Amino acid sequence: MSDHRDTGAEADDVRRFWKGLGLPGLVDVHTHFMPERVLHKVWAYFDALGPLTGGVEWPITYRKEEGERAAVLRAFGVRAFTAMLYPHKPGMARWLNDWAAGFAGRTPDCLHTSTLFPEPGVAVYVREAVEAGARVFKAHVQVGAYDPADEALDAAWGLLAEAGVPVVIHCGSGPAPGKYTGPEPVARVLARHPRLRLVIAHLGMPEYEDFLDLAERYGQVRLDTTMAFTDFSERMAPFPRRALPRLAALGDRILLGSDFPNIPYPYVHQLHALERLGLGEEWLRRVCHDNAAGLFGLSGR
């Protein structure tokens, strides 16, 4: 288990990666922090996956308490990270947002994160969150089991588009499909809100090319790398090699994401998985730092 891993040696590996690129550190747009009892439920879900999925084990590499997890990211040189959290039912988002505001308040390197759900009052609490300084939102279409194009969300999307606040949205059908996962519901959202800054989580895994289509069509759509290209994901949902040139061309709209701490391998593997794509150092600099630094107005390199 991870408790026995030497964080110092691992931090050296991560730091060697970004220093070698001449970067001041990493920006990771997809890390999970949430109230402890919610996080423990998420971990219980992953723990149960082996028997449920016919053998795919998902050991959580960084099963530590909250302060230790933030300290690990700092030791890695992650300059800014997020607190991705999401409700699975109505009446929960506002509470999560209150928690996330507190977490961001005591964690200056966390980009204040909020979430939303199709329910009465969503536009009100989304506006309040933006006014309170939320820098990024998270939406989880599979866990929430809702249509992102649900009319109940329309005003909230409009507000976020206008405010230019990015929304990391888990909308691909991996690792498990949902009734509303896949590109089609998101395409309907973008048709109504073409300037909405959606960040497609997991690069849209496994519907990579459909989501690349959307990014090519809508200039404010971005994709995060979370778990993509790793040995773990390539076994289940390989990224099609023929789409690599499109990834290169979208180099200013791909953002490093990791899914820390809920990953079944060491953090540095995500970085090496990006490096071995062979898209070059300038692409890596943009993806691992510059694109997100620009998007969130952090100091440059």
List interacting residues with Zn ion (CB under 5 A). 259
Distance CA 20, CA 281 (A): 9
Token pair of 260, please? 């820390």
Residue closer to Zn ion, measured from CB, 207 or 259:
259
Residue closer to Zn ion, measured from CB, 159 or 186:
186
Distance CA 31, CA 273 (A): 17
CB of 223 to Zn ion, least distance (A): 14
Closest residue to Zn ion, based on beta-carbon distance: 259
Of 284, 216, 217, nearest in space to 255 by CA? 284
Distance CA 49, CA 46 (A): 5
Residue closer to Zn ion, measured from CB, 49 or 155:
49
Residue closer to Zn ion, measured from CB, 262 or 291:
262
Decide: helix, strand or coil at residue 149. coil
Residue closer to Zn ion, measured from CB, 23 or 142:
142
CB of 32 to Zn ion, least distance (A): 6
CB of 174 to Zn ion, least distance (A): 11
CB of 127 to Zn ion, least distance (A): 25
Spell out a b/e string for 278-296, using b for 16 or more CB atoms within 10 Å of the CB, else e: ebeeebbbbbbbbbbbebb
Of 286, 259, 288, nearest in space to 272 by CA? 288
CB of 259 to Zn ion, least distance (A): 4
Residue 165's beta-bridge partner residues?
Answer: none
Handedness of CA 7, 8, 9, 15 (dihedral sign): positive
